[in-house]
A and B are shown apart, each in its own frame.
Chain A
Amino acid sequence: MRVTALIIGAGVALMNLPALADDAPIALTLKDHKFTPAEIHLKANVPAQILLSNEDPSAEEFDSSSLHVEKVVPGGQKGIVRLRPLAPGRYNFMGEYHSDTAQGVVIAE
């Protein structure tokens, strides 16, 4: 499976490398199935990145239909969540596998 993923992705990887963020990514930590900070403030209308550190042993999916993000971050790993330029407003997100406690909101202003 890894080999397959490598072959499939190789062509794509050759096309261009992931664009670098304009600013440093915003740090977000998941521990005991809770996000810290649970409220993220960022500038509206510019792209942004969140660096999610999953400090739990189990995998979690950063899920937000309003942000259009579904990103699985395995236990003990980090993942980058890229956000498109957002209109001012509140955008809820959750950890889909523990949605009773893993809740947060991005506020674009």
Chain B
Amino acid sequence: MLASLLIVFREVIEAGLIVGIVLAATKGVAGRGRWVSLGVVAGVLGAAIVAAFAGKIAGLFQGSGQEIFDASILLLAVVMLTWHNVWMAGHGRAMAREMKQVGAQVLAGERPMTALAIVVGIAVLREGSEVVLFLYGIASQGGTSTAALLGGGALGVAAGAGATALMYYGLLAIPAHRLFGVTAGLITLLAAGMAAQAILFLQQGGYFEVLTNTVWDTSWLLKQDSLVGRLLHTLIGYNDTPNGAQLVVYAVTVIGIVLLTRIERARHPRRSAAPKVA
């Protein structure tokens, strides 16, 4: 029971943190609850489907199907996060101004909520499919009662929701005019961490086997499988022994997003009459 609770908790908390960031980044957007809920529901359904076809997926690409699949959805999430940040660079200033003027009420719903809904869906799908496989394995063995199983699962999900709430309200403590800047930074590091993880999956699958040597080892300082290490791994892609390819991809992703947002910002010059917002 405790073991099942721990594993569910661990997976759900990771998805929960990402949902929390997305909610904070979309504060004030009309209909965002609907989009985020849609992402969660689609992610849960997707997790069940992926778990059901785990055997088929694993068998694709000479046995590297799981790695290709994981890498693909991670890279899709990276693209969606990049799109969000670039869009915000063009419109964020106007939005922050609008939020001040209308007292943080409803903002234009034109921003790419689809992108963030997809990110939420992917986060839930990745962690959820592991939970489904794990719980299914326990259920098929018998021994553990269905009630204990469901109880463990429900507690795990509640813990994940708690993680979402902590992340969300923690970020909301940031003054409104700084909030979008902070969430944009968080999303950049989240995307870079996901890209580095995607490369690791591709290498595991036998592709891009370049620069695979470990570059440094910070496990003496913070072990990646400790609680803090895991949280940082989810949020900013912390890795205690990264390999060369991961570092290159991480740096390229950060630089790429920063450059794209700079270019987009330059296309939308600040209006002279606008109040100063950071």
User: What is A's interface to B at a CB cutoff of 8 Å?
Assistant: 1-2, 5-6, 8-9, 12-13, 15-19, 47, 57-61, 65-66, 68-69, 71-75, 77-82, 84-85, 87, 96-100
Closest 6 CB pairs of A and B: A18-B206, A58-B137, A74-B55, A65-B225, A8-B72, A9-B68
A79 touches B207 (CB 8 A): no
A59 touches B68 (CB 8 A): no
- Closest A residue, CB atoms, query B3: A100
How many A-B pairs with Cβ below 8 Å?
120
B59 touches A97 (CB 8 A): no
User: Chain B: interface secondary structure?
Assistant: helix
CB distance from A50 to the nearest CB of B (A): 11
Bound Cα distance A40, B64 (Å): 22
Which A residues are CB-close (under 8 A) to B65? 5, 9
B241 touches A1 (CB 8 A): no
CB distance from A18 to the nearest CB of B (A): 3
How many residues on chain B are close to A (CB under 8 Å)? Answer: 52
B60 touches A6 (CB 8 A): yes
CB of B63 closer than 8 Å to a CB of A: yes
Which B residues are CB-close (under 8 A) to A61? 130, 133
- Closest B residue, CB atoms, query A5: B69
CB of B140 closer than 8 Å to a CB of A: yes
A68 touches B200 (CB 8 A): yes
CB of B212 closer than 8 Å to a CB of A: yes
CB distance from B36 to the nearest CB of A (A): 22
Residue from B53, B69, B205 in contact with A8 in the complex, judged by beta carbons closer than 8 Å = B69
Residue from A69, A72, A99 in contact with B58 in the complex, judged by beta carbons closer than 8 Å = A72
CB distance from A57 to the nearest CB of B (A): 7
CB of B214 closer than 8 Å to a CB of A: yes
Which B residues are CB-close (under 8 A) to A17? 62, 206
